[in-house]
């Protein structure tokens, strides 16, 4: 049985264009740095990584998660509610926490971070270059910001924060 949806009245109706642009720049930078790291280890791995990352982040998760979100058709923290509404039909918001996408998302984002970090570890063992260290710093910085203060800030402004199992800002 689906839990009733409890929206947070103090959540924003629409996130700022600035926050949407910033979120997408960070995701693009993460995927680009990850692709370069994987490519340096193996061009095939780089191609597989970028294909997996873009398809999962911008298509599969948008269909599975965003179509069930309050922000479907609206500007959420990353603008993906608008993207989802352009490509997919709306689904029931009550299914948000219980669909495959909410269970899959942590694994997808984990792989987007972990695969290039493993590639960089191999590269650094072989030959620690400035490029390898810069890529490592970029990936770690984006990962720490995105999984910590950036996510908490976005969650705190979200209308779904009381209902979403993944929220970092639920009021107890």
| Percentage above 70 pLDDT, the chain | 97
Q: How high is the pLDDT of residue 137?
A: 97
Count how many domains the chain has: 1
The tens digit of pLDDT for each residue in 81-137 reads 999 999 999 999 999 988 899 899 999 999 999 999 999 999 999 999 999 999 999
Residue 26 lies in a domain: yes
Residue 10 lies in a domain: no
Residue 93 lies in a domain: no
Provide the residue range defining the domain that includes 140.
17-64+103-156
- Alpha carbons 62 and 80: distance in angstroms, whole number: 7
Please report which residue ranges of 1-129 form alpha helices under DSSP H.
Answer: 17-41, 43-55, 61-64, 80-87, 100-126
Residue 131 lies in a domain: yes
Residue 83 lies in a domain: no
Residue 51 lies in a domain: yes
Residue 2 clears pLDDT 80, i.e. is over it = no
């Amino acid at each position: 049985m689906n839990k009733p949806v409890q929206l947070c009245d103090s959540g924003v109706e629409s996130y700022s264009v600035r926050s949407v642009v910033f979120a997408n720049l960070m995701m693009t930078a993460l995927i680009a740095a990850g692709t370069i790291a994987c490519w340096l280890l193996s061009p095939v791995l780089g191609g597989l990584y970028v294909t997996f990352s873009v398809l999962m982040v911008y298509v599969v998760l948008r269909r599975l998660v965003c179509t069930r979100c309050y922000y479907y058709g609206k500007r959420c923290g990353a603008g993906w509610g608008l993207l989802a509404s352009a490509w997919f039909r709306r689904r029931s918001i009550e299914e948000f926490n219980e669909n495959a996408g909410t269970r899959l998302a942590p694994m997808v984002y984990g792989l987007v971070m972990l695969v290039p970090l493993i590639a960089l570890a191999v590269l650094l063992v072989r030959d620690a270059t400035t490029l390898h260290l810069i890529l490592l710093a970029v990936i770690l910085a984006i990962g720490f910001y995105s999984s910590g203060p950036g996510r908490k800030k976005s969650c705190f402004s979200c209308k779904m924060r009381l209902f979403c199992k993944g929220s970092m800002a639920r009021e107890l």
